[in-house]
Structure 1
Amino acid sequence: MTIDRRSLLGGAAALPALGMMPWGSARAQANNVLKLGVLTDMSGTYRDGCGPGSVAAVRQAVQDSGVAGRNIQVEVLQGDHQNKPDVASTIARQWIDRDGVDVIIDVATSSCALAVHGVVKEKNKIMLNSTGATADLTGPACHGNTIHWTYDTWMLANSTGGAMVKAGGDTWFFITADYAFGHALERDTGDLVRKQGGRVLGSVRHPFPGTTDFSSFLLQAQQSRAKVVGLANAGVDTINSVKQAAEFGLTRRQKLAVLLMIVSDVHSLGLNTAQGLVLSETYYWDLNDRTRNLANKLKGPLNGAMPTMWQAGCYSAALHYLKAAADMGVAQAKASGLETVTRMKAMPTDDDAFGPGSIRQDGRKLHPSYLFEVKAPGESKGPWDYYKLVRTVPAEEAFRPMAEGSCSLVRT
């Protein structure tokens, strides 16, 4: 069962627990159970990249965590925020107040992530953000109850944006999703372009969600004569933008910078259309034996698809949370989200998604990022073999320096 706006407005009964592990008991008292809520996009623009796959990844993390051997019971709930911040915050409050949820995971869409970010601080619970991208979560908006796990707008700007500038793309025009994520990605990439001596010639913002026709925005990008057209959007919006840019002939004279594209987007586009695009991710299923191991575990629940970095982030975040909660004891972990996050920061991270890593004082999870180029059809050896590795960015360089984020948690 999935919580959505209809069930909220209809005064639905308490959401049943989903994904109860075999060691669980429906009669267990709430204070003996860790409750994980996966709040995601189950029906909209970002569904393929997170959605049901994020729920499957969290369930796999519960299975892999070993908490069963410590007599710890875990329930996994799921909710669809429909990319609406008011729905996201309402679900978060109901989960915490009514259902006893301890940690909220994933939270696609930056505006929804920022809304839930405020709720968990107020309620002293936890948000482990994987899909929401805005770097403000570890910057001006930071607090001690959230960890930003997988990637962020600063990382995308400096990896993909930086590569495009170094390749000669010193003038830019942005096509931007008109909400918190798009604004942050345009801002962070624009700052990078200017820092490296380039110029931003202009931008246009498209409504989110619901835009399918990007022709007027692409026309403005063509008329700008910028060398690079930066797509500060994601999911279906990016897929449609890339397809329509090719149809318009834009790519004959200008370069496309897909500032956020993930492997499921490439799969939807096909290699004939996506070949040659440069993009940045922190997880790719075929990087090494460990990433392939995670992919093999999840491809069944994902109906043969390979996990995205967003879904891998949900797995990694849930796994580390469960390790910390088991170390603290269930009662103590449930008592204070802030104390549990503090324990998570003190423990090194290590999993099949990202390998060894750590969590900084400002709540930024650290691991390498990777610059990829999409293969041509003739280079692909089989289904989901889409990327050529261009560059590995070490963990200490992949994300914004902590001193530059203006996070109030940072003590100098």
Structure 2
Amino acid sequence: MRIDKTLLAATIVAGLTMPAAAQEISDDVVKIGILNDQSGVYADFGGKWSVAAAEMAVEDFGGTVLDKPIELINADHQNKPDIASNIAREWYDTQQVDAIMELTTSSVALAVQGLSKEKGKIDIVTGAATTELTGKQCSPYGFHWAYDTHALAVGTGGALVKAGGDTWFFLTADYAFGYSLEEQTGNFVKENGGEVLGSVRHPLASNDFSSFLLQAQSSGAKVIGLANAGLDTANAIKQAAEFGIVQGGQKLAALLFTLAEVHGLGAESAQGLNLTEGWYWDQNDDNRKFGERFMEKTGRMPNMIQAGTYSAVLSYLKAVKAAGTDETKAVAAKLHELPVEDVFAKNGKVQENGRMVYDMYLFQVKKPDEMKGDWDYYNEVATVPGSDAFLSVENSGCDVSQYAK
């Protein structure tokens, strides 16, 4: 049989130059699901605003990756792990979703990360706080963006202990996130010479904090640590004002409070609060430009959860492009490998356990007469280096040896 060498050479060259990557996108679309609380206690914390941030990331990436369209879908998990798991399973099994992101509420995030690991799918958490996500329940396909309980403990807890707030009482949300935040902040307080006098737990989405606050007040602790989030924190702060807790000399530490909740509460009630976030719109020109775009789209400024969701979506798409495929293992490898350099994180890096490490910031809420505009709430007090804010792989409790299996 005679082989036409010229034809063979041309075929080889054509094979080398054809866009093979375009053949590596499953179902001819890259599909991302934003799963979070859109109607409950954390609706402002992330909610539909995180969906808007994800849309901005897709727009900024160009709307396609490897010449295939990018599709976003979203759903409300109602802060219930069973509902979240059912949605995620349906997305993976019947809607060909490639990755799920945001995942407000630690119990939800842990449940969906477990399912994602089972299904061989990527999840990137921006809305939940527990360090278990990159600790004992870590996954080779699981990533944790934005913040976690350790970073909050180091930021807010550390600042107040150093300022003389050496006795603490915790008012804690009765689920995984609250337990983790109380434990890590309490450990940090004690390591720095402070003392934890006690704690009380409240159900999620409480309306009446009076009995809990009276216990905290009667403890005599210098600092009452609010190990909760969203409307729970806002309601606790409002009711604390009614009891004259701050006027009586005790300090409130909002251990997870973001710009969205400060705005909802108002500077009059929130003034003087110390809190830790990983991003603020008025820190630099790039942040301001992003904030202004987000304001035009949504009518509000983003917090770290929403800006973090933008970063997570953008980073995932960059990883798909670099891998030349949306195949999970290849994309996960690129997510671990690529630096995170965008409007949200500067010099960010992803550890082997999936924790994205970048600098966090301690802010103090301004007094109303210090504000120059509706969203001008923060004074930056300190930078918490990423190496201090987040646990190392070695100290996280994650068994990364499982990743090789």
**Residue from 47, 50, 75 that aligns with 2:71:** 75
**Residue from 335, 341, 347 that aligns with 1:344:** 335
**Residue from 296, 299, 313 that aligns with 2:308:** 313
The aligned counterpart of 1:108 is 104
The aligned counterpart of 1:199 is 195
Distance in 1 of aligned mates of 2:195 and 2:401: 32
Distance in 2 of aligned mates of 1:177 and 1:402: 27
Superposed counterparts of 1:322-341, under 5 Å: 322-329=317-324, 332-333=325-326, 335=327, 337-341=328-332
Cα 1:91/1:69, change in 2 over 3 Å: closer
**Residue from 352, 357, 379 that aligns with 1:388:** 379
Superposed counterparts of 1:95-174, under 5 Å: 95-174=91-170
Aligned AA (2:337) = A
The aligned counterpart of 1:271 is 267
Which consecutive residues of structure 2, in runs of 5 or more, have no partner in the other structure?
A: 1-24
Distance in 2 of aligned mates of 1:30 and 1:342: 18
Secondary structure, aligned partner of 2:348: strand
Cα 1:107/1:257, change in 2 over 3 Å: same
The aligned counterpart of 1:406 is 397
Distance in 2 of aligned mates of 1:205 and 1:396: 31
The alpha-carbon deviation at position 398 of structure 1 amounts to: 2.0
Identity %: 51
Aligned AA (1:138) = T
Matched, 1:214 2:205: no
CA RMSD in angstroms, aligned pairs only: 1.4
Distance in 2 of aligned mates of 1:98 and 1:300: 35
Matched, 1:368 2:359: yes
Maintained 8 Å contact 2:65/2:320: no
Secondary structure, aligned partner of 2:38: coil
Q: Which portions of structure 1, spanning 4 or more consecutive aligned residues, are displaced by more than 4 angstroms?
A: none
Superposed counterparts of 1:167-316, under 5 Å: 167-208=163-204, 210-251=205-246, 252-302=248-298, 304-316=299-311
CA shift digits 1:231-284 (9 cap, x unpaired): 000000000000100110111221111101100111111111111111000010
Q: Which structure is larger by alpha-carbon Rg, 1 or 2?
A: 2
Distance in 2 of aligned mates of 1:293 and 1:127: 28
Maintained 8 Å contact 1:72/1:326: no
Maintained 8 Å contact 1:67/1:322: no
The alpha-carbon deviation at position 65 of structure 1 amounts to: 1.4
**Count of residues in Structure 1 that have an aligned counterpart in Structure 2:** 377
The alpha-carbon deviation at position 338 of structure 1 amounts to: 3.2
Maintained 8 Å contact 1:290/1:353: no
The alpha-carbon deviation at position 72 of structure 1 amounts to: 2.2
Distance in 2 of aligned mates of 1:48 and 1:152: 18
Aligned AA (2:103) = V
CA shift digits 1:50-89 (9 cap, x unpaired): 1111111111101111353742211100010000000011
**Residue from 357, 369, 377 that aligns with 1:378:** 369
Secondary structure, aligned partner of 1:355: coil
Secondary structure, aligned partner of 1:253: coil
Distance in 2 of aligned mates of 1:212 and 1:339: 46
The alpha-carbon deviation at position 356 of structure 1 amounts to: 2.9
Maintained 8 Å contact 2:65/2:321: no
The alpha-carbon deviation at position 409 of structure 1 amounts to: 1.0
The alpha-carbon deviation at position 401 of structure 1 amounts to: 2.6
Aligned AA (1:385) = D
Q: Say which is worse superposed, 398-407 or 107-116, in terms of deviation.
A: 398-407
The aligned counterpart of 2:14 is none
The aligned counterpart of 1:48 is 44
The aligned counterpart of 1:20 is none
The alpha-carbon deviation at position 228 of structure 1 amounts to: 0.8
